[in-house]
Structure 1
């Protein structure tokens, strides 16, 4: 089966990204986003939202609807990991 990840759509507005982070992080452990952790940098809403949304997506079984986030999520087949920040 193809490995997939969930990221935030680049067209998403700041309020949506913030809501997605808050929602995802009430359901999954977002400690990886804390200052000093590998995925804190770059410290941007789009980056943090993508990581939080992917954590949620992976934990909930990688179903299409687990990456919807009111149509602000995008399922990708290219691993979005970078430097020490590994997308689960």
Structure 2
């Protein structure tokens, strides 16, 4: 991981709500081939809600974090958004 510089805004990478199911699935497969997506497994904090947009957003953000939060690592062929509001919920914490 890298240290955040003074005054830098935290950002997260999530799936665009308009993304189709095939794109979301491709994004999950791509991200999870590069990072550990075990938080998405059944019984883990980020499994529910069990839907593609939720799982894709978590996987895409894990990938984004692994790449040092570079803007180019949150594109996923135009199906991603960089947000400044923490998307964490319940026990599912976005890094």
TM range (shorter): over 0.9
Corresponding residue for 2:70? 63
Residues paired across the two proteins, number: 88
- State TM-score, norm by structure 2: 0.92
Q: How does 1:1-88 map to 2 (within 5 A)?
A: 1-88=8-95
- Give 5+ residue unaligned stretches, structure 1: none
Larger CA Rg, structure 1 vs 2: 2
Cα drift, residue 28 of structure 1? 0.2
How large is the Cα RMSD of the aligned pairs?
0.3
Q: Deviations over 1:19-49 (max 9, x none)?
A: 0000000000000000000000000000000
Moved segments of 4+, more than 2 Å:
none
- State TM-score, norm by structure 1: 0.99
